Amino acid sequence: MFEKDRAWIELNKDNFIHNINVLESGLPQGCRMMPCVKANAFGHGAVPISKMLHEHGTRDYCVACLSEAVELREAGIEGQILILGYTDPADLSALYEYDLSQTVVDCAYGKVLNAFGKPLRVHVAIDTGMRRIGERSEHVDEIAGLWSLDNLNIDSIYTHLSSADETEGEGREFTLKQIEAYDRLVNELHSRGITDFRTHVLASSGIANYSEHGYDYIRPGALIYGIEGKPSDDSPKRLGLRHVLELKAKVSTVRKLYPGDCVSYSRTFKADHEMLCASVGFGYADGMPRELSNRWNALVNGKVCPMIGTICMDFLMLDVSEVPDVHPGTEVVLIGKSGNETIRACDMAFAAGVNTNAVLSQLSHRLGRIVV
Ligand SMILES: *Cc1c(COP(=O)(O)O)cnc(C)c1O
């Protein structure tokens, strides 16, 4: 309702659809996109992102948990929505009511799902080395046994790669071993006459680095948003993908600082000359890492402005001494482009010592999401 109030996210629709087209044009015959819109679409906004996908024609989605899946259904998203995580047995009726697909996190959980008593569409997770979820790929008998459970409507078996961002050395060896273990299981099942299932393995780094391995769905997260996992990650650029998100806020008030004035909690910044300070309506509750206090910048009218003082829950302060004509309402770019300057999400995350997803997924629900 107040989309462009004190701070907001702009989603570039052309860039987003461009990314989807690029990824779809690289798909092997018969392979479908199952974009990953978990964690509020990596902070971008699950509803607006999924609506753009839906309008584009996408009919397969994956999310982390039941509440995310229900949010999409209630926003009118049709097609398959796969929950990649665990759903509490007490909530299984919601899977049925909302026609959601559930991950079988191990064979014991498969029996729990079966005991619900009504047919559920499922994807069986296979552990090939990540050691997070999935039945171990060596347990062929147990996995094959899932097909004898009457209430499981098995769409797929899938696995997840732990190291596909590495293209050489041990990481490459490990990745190829995971893929081998997965392929071996698929062949085993086929040789037992179990063939009515689809396959999926690749998420973003797998698509970027191991795309010669096909399968029936891909599950790209980061790549659909064009985001680099870290500043040295060149895969989005190499694939011709574009950033979708810009993060903006407004100046609330501007004041002069005199020598000796201290800014914000605990007086971590002290002015040693006269300067101009803008308070911006964006804080750590909006997703700005507090660790960046006195260590990072924002863009105002094409100029790089240092953040000064401790970042607060709802405010941060900028040194705008070098920027002409800053006033309440002036736009501040926290991620994105202003004039000739750009701040990428990965740069901000790297400065805070975390990965890009860790910053983007923390962007608050109180920010408006505007499709431009
Ligand atoms: C998060 C996740 C994805 C998407 O991840 P990206 O690396 O961003 O593409 C795909 N599959 C699973 C199982 C995931 O947990």
**148, 200: one domain:** yes
Residue 198 has φ and ψ, to the nearest 5°, of -100, 175
**300, 343: one domain:** yes
Q: 13 alpha carbon to ligand 1 midpoint, in Å?
A: 22
- What is d(CA 109, CA 115) in angstroms, rounded to the nearest whole number? 10
Q: 150 alpha carbon to ligand 1 midpoint, in Å?
A: 29
- Active-site residue (options: 13, 38, 182, 225): 38
Which is the closest atom of ligand 1 to the Cα of 224? 9
Cβ neighbourhood burial of 18 (10 Å; 0-12, 13-18, 19+)? middle
Measured at the CA of 293, the angle between CA 289 and CA 298, to 5 degrees, comes to 80
**258, 213: one domain:** no
In this predicted structure, what is the pLDDT of residue 297? 98
**162, 253: one domain:** no
Nearest by Cα to 282 from 332, 351, 326: 332
Q: 158 alpha carbon to ligand 1 midpoint, in Å?
A: 12
In this predicted structure, what is the pLDDT of residue 2? 83
77 in a domain, yes or no? yes
**128, 254: one domain:** no
One-letter amino acid for residue 307 of the chain: M
Q: 64 alpha carbon to ligand 1 midpoint, in Å?
A: 9
**75, 161: one domain:** yes
Which among 34, 60, 62 is the best mutation to test ligand 1's pocket, defined by most ligand atoms within 8 Å of the CB? 62
36 in a domain, yes or no? yes
In this predicted structure, what is the pLDDT of residue 227? 97
**135, 219: one domain:** yes
**206, 90: one domain:** yes
User: 192, 225, 258 — which closes off a domain?
Assistant: 225
- What is d(CA 256, CA 346) in angstroms, rounded to the nearest whole number? 32
User: 196, 225, 254 — which closes off a domain?
Assistant: 225
Check residue 267 and report its DSSP letter.
Answer: G
Count of domains observed in the chain: 2
List the chain pLDDT tens, one digit each, 372 residues: 788 899 999 999 999 999 999 999 999 889 999 999 999 999 999 999 999 999 999 999 999 999 999 999 999 999 999 999 999 999 999 999 999 999 999 999 999 999 999 999 999 999 999 999 999 999 999 999 999 999 999 999 999 999 999 999 999 999 999 999 999 999 999 999 999 999 999 999 999 999 988 899 999 999 999 999 999 999 999 999 999 999 999 999 999 999 999 999 999 999 999 999 999 999 999 999 999 999 999 999 999 999 999 999 999 999 999 999 999 999 999 999 999 999 999 999 999 999 999 999 999 999 999 999
**170, 272: one domain:** no
Beta bridge partners of 335: 247
Who lines ligand 1 at CB under 6 A? Answer: 36, 38, 84, 160, 203-205, 219-223
Which among 159, 219, 356, 359 is the best mutation to test ligand 1's pocket, defined by most ligand atoms within 8 Å of the CB? 219
Residue with CA nearest ligand 1 atom 7 = 204
pTM of the model: 0.97
**57, 186: one domain:** yes
Residue 168 has φ and ψ, to the nearest 5°, of -145, 175
Which is the closest atom of ligand 1 to the Cα of 220? 9
Active-site residue, 38 included: yes
Residue 47: CATH number of its domain: 3.20.20.10
22 in a domain, yes or no? no
In this predicted structure, what is the pLDDT of residue 213? 85
Residue with CA nearest ligand 1 atom 6 = 221
Cβ neighbourhood burial of 74 (10 Å; 0-12, 13-18, 19+)? exposed
**62, 202: one domain:** yes
**149, 284: one domain:** no
Which among 34, 36, 86, 202 is the best mutation to test ligand 1's pocket, defined by most ligand atoms within 8 Å of the CB? 36
In this predicted structure, what is the pLDDT of residue 43? 98
- Active-site residue (options: 4, 237, 265, 270): 265
User: 167, 192, 225 — which closes off a domain?
Assistant: 225
Domain range holding 55?
A: 31-225
How many other CB atoms are found less than 10 A from the CB of residue 237? 11
